[in-house]
Amino acid sequence: MSKSTRENLRIKHKYLVWLQVAKGHSEATIDKTAAAISVYEAFLGGRDFRAFHSERARAFKRYLAAQKNARSGAPLSPSTINSTLREVKAFFFWLADQPGYKSKISHSDTDYLTPDRKSEAARRSTLWKPHPSLAQVQHLLERMPTSSVLQRRDRALVAFLFLTGSRIGAGIGLRLGHVDLQNACVQFDGRSVKTKFGKSFTTAFFPIGGPADQILRDWIGELRTTHLFSDADPLFPKTRVGVDGSRKFAALGIAREPWSNPSSAARIFKQAFTDAGLSPFSPHRVRDTLAELTREYCRTPEDYKAWSQNLGHDNALTTFTSYGAVGPGRQIELMARFRKRGPLGDVDVEIIE
Segment 222-263, tens digit of pLDDT = 999 999 999 999 999 998 888 777 777 777 889 999 888 888
Give, in degrees to the nearest 5, the angle at Cα 270 between 264 and 272: 100
Three-state helix/strand/coil letters over the chain: CCHHHHHHHHHHHHHHHHHHHCCCCCHHHHHHHHHHHHHHHHHHCCCCCCCCCHHHHHHHHHHHHHCECCCCCCECCHHHHHHHHHHHHHHHHHHCCCCCCCCCCCHHHHHHHCCCHHHHHHHHCCCCCCCCCHHHHHHHHHHCCCCCHHHHHHHHHHHHHHHHCCCHHHHCCCEHHHEECCCCEEEECCCCCCCHHHCCEEEECCCCCCCHHHHHHHHHHHHHHCCCCCCCCECCEEEEEEECCCCCEEEEEEEEEECCCCHHHHHHHHHHHHHCCCCCCCHHHHHHHHHHCHHHHCCCHHHHHHHHHHCCCCCHHHHHHHCCCCCHHHHHHHHHHHHHHCCCCCCCCCCCC
Domain that holds residue 194: 134-280
- Count, residues in the chain: 353
When pLDDT is averaged across residues 3-15 and rounded to a whole number, the result is 91
- Would you say residue 15 has pLDDT above 60? yes
**Assigned domain for 295 exists:** no
Which comes out higher in pLDDT, residue 183 or 342? Answer: 183
Which comes out higher in pLDDT, residue 156 or 333? Answer: 156
The predicted pLDDT at position 217 comes to 96
For the sheet with 201-204, list strands across it: 179-180, 185-188, 201-204
**Assigned domain for 349 exists:** no
Domain count, the chain: 2
**Assigned domain for 258 exists:** yes
- Same domain for 140 and 274, yes or no, is yes
pLDDT tens digits along 104-151: 999 999 999 998 776 665 555 556 678 899 999 999 999 999 999 999
Chain-wide mean pLDDT for the chain?
A: 86
Q: Which of 82, 104, 124 is the last residue of a domain?
A: 124
Domain with residue 39: its CATH number is 1.10.150
Q: How confident is the model at residue 43 (pLDDT cuts 50, 70, 90)?
A: very high
- Same domain for 164 and 46, yes or no, is no
The alpha carbon dihedral of 194, 200, 205, 207 has a sign of negative
- Same domain for 144 and 218, yes or no, is yes
**Assigned domain for 223 exists:** yes
- Same domain for 139 and 272, yes or no, is yes
* 240 strand-pairing partners: 253
- Same domain for 172 and 264, yes or no, is yes
When pLDDT is averaged across residues 72-97 and rounded to a whole number, the result is 91
**Assigned domain for 317 exists:** no
- Same domain for 150 and 255, yes or no, is yes
- Would you say residue 352 has pLDDT above 50? no
- Same domain for 94 and 180, yes or no, is no
Contacts 24+ apart (CB under 8 A), 292-299: 292/131, 292/324, 292/327, 293/134, 293/206, 293/207, 293/208, 294/319, 294/324, 295/352, 295/353, 297/207, 298/352, 299/352
- Would you say residue 215 has pLDDT above 50? yes
**Assigned domain for 310 exists:** no
Q: Which of 223, 253, 280 is the last residue of a domain?
A: 280
The predicted pLDDT at position 13 comes to 95
**Assigned domain for 150 exists:** yes
- Same domain for 141 and 119, yes or no, is no
pLDDT tens digits along 166-200: 999 999 999 999 999 999 999 998 888 888 777 88
- Same domain for 158 and 237, yes or no, is yes
- Same domain for 107 and 55, yes or no, is yes
CA distance 277 to 261: 27
- Same domain for 90 and 175, yes or no, is no
When pLDDT is averaged across residues 19-48 and rounded to a whole number, the result is 91
Q: Which of 156, 170, 145, 162 is nearest to 227 (CA)?
A: 156
Which comes out higher in pLDDT, residue 149 or 209? Answer: 149
CA distance 53 to 55: 6
CA distance 312 to 200: 8
Q: Which of 280, 308, 336 is the last residue of a domain?
A: 280
- Same domain for 110 and 139, yes or no, is no
When pLDDT is averaged across residues 314-333 and rounded to a whole number, the result is 70
**Assigned domain for 119 exists:** yes
The predicted pLDDT at position 353 comes to 41
Domain with residue 210: its CATH number is 1.10.443.10
- Would you say residue 350 has pLDDT above 60? no
% of residues, the chain, pLDDT over 90: 55
The predicted pLDDT at position 348 comes to 45
% of residues, the chain, pLDDT over 70: 88
